[in-house]
Amino acid sequence: MVDSGQVTATLRLSVGDLRLAHPISVPAGAVPATAVVPALQGLVNATVAAAEEQIKGAGKAVSCRKGCGACCRQLVPISHTEGERLLAVIDALPGRRRAAIKTRFDEASAALARAGLRDVLLDPAQRTGRTDRELSVAYFALGIPCPFLEEESCSIHPERPLVCREYLVTSPAELCAGPVQDGVTPVPVPKISLAARGLQDDADSWFPLALLMTWSRTRRFSCRLKRTGMDWLQRFLKKLASG
């Protein structure tokens, strides 16, 4: 269906025993990949809501609450497309707040450089021989808060990355602060965020959210490439199916 420059279709998703029928709308015309991020956010939100209903049926409940920011010190992998959108989110902030957030990004980048992790996390070639688990544990040990974290809550919650939306737990919140996350029980949510990686190229490309500003200084300006919203969505769905 086409309406007001948008194309809407119903996406039917089946992962394990989770079934979802979700209407998804994307721009009808040629747009950069960042323009379809809201549609992907809505899809992840709907998937997470379905997963929450499943665990409720099993007598469990999500323990995550506003003000519980331990998980906001984890390594958060984001796609290049999300990175470009988040840069636009930062640019739209009032000057003083924008400057404060950029300062926190610079501090996070410096901390990772001191720990010898910055170059490794920015260059996929340097990650060879180190598992994602190893890198995640080393990152978490540094205790670097997400630059968007304010008063232990996400200051850009409506625009938070896809992977952040997918991370919920049913275990006691205090366990999330443990050095190796012992006893933490995540809600089993299909990792749709993985399909967003490489949306603009064919690689499984990601970098840590905390290095957003550092990445922005060397990134390729792939946001100049435009396709119709449906073309971007079909690329995403192919990656989702192959994953």
Reported as a single tens digit per residue, the pLDDT across 80-114 is 999 999 999 999 999 999 999 999 999 999 999 99
Looking only at the bridges linking them, the beta strands covering 207-208 and 227-228 are unpaired
Q: What confidence tens digit (pLDDT) does each residue in 112-159 have?
A: 999 999 999 998 888 888 888 899 999 999 999 999 999 999 999 999
The total number of structural domains that make up the chain: 1
Range of the domain at 141: 2-242
Q: What contacts 28, CB < 8 A, 6 or more positions away?
A: 2, 5, 6, 7, 228, 229, 230
What pLDDT, on the 0 to 100 scale, is given for residue 1?
A: 56
In the DSSP assignment, the letter for residue 169 is B
In 3D, which of 166, 203, 167 has the Cα closest to residue 79? Answer: 203
Question: Residue 28, Cβ neighbours under 10 Å: how many?
Answer: 16
Give whole-number Cα distances, 47 to 11, 14, 19, 57, 78, in Å: 11, 10, 9, 16, 18
Pairwise CA distance, residues 35 & 82, whole Å: 10
Question: Per-residue confidence at 234, pLDDT binned at 50, 70, 90?
Answer: very high
Q: Per-residue pLDDT averaged across 46-55, rounded?
A: 92
For residue 48, CA distances in Å to 41, 169, 191 come to: 11, 12, 10
Give ∠ CA 222-22-197 in degrees, rounded to 5: 25
* pLDDT (tens digit per residue) in 13-47: 887 778 889 999 999 999 999 999 999 999 999 99
Distance of CA 110 to the CA centre of its chain: 22
Instruction: Indicate the pTM of the whole model.
Output: 0.92
| 70 vs 46, residue with greater confidence | 46
Q: In 10 A of CB 240, how many CB atoms?
A: 18
DSSP class of residue 186 equals: B
pLDDT tens, position by position, 167-206: 989 888 888 888 777 888 888 888 899 999 888 876 678 9
Length of the chain: 243
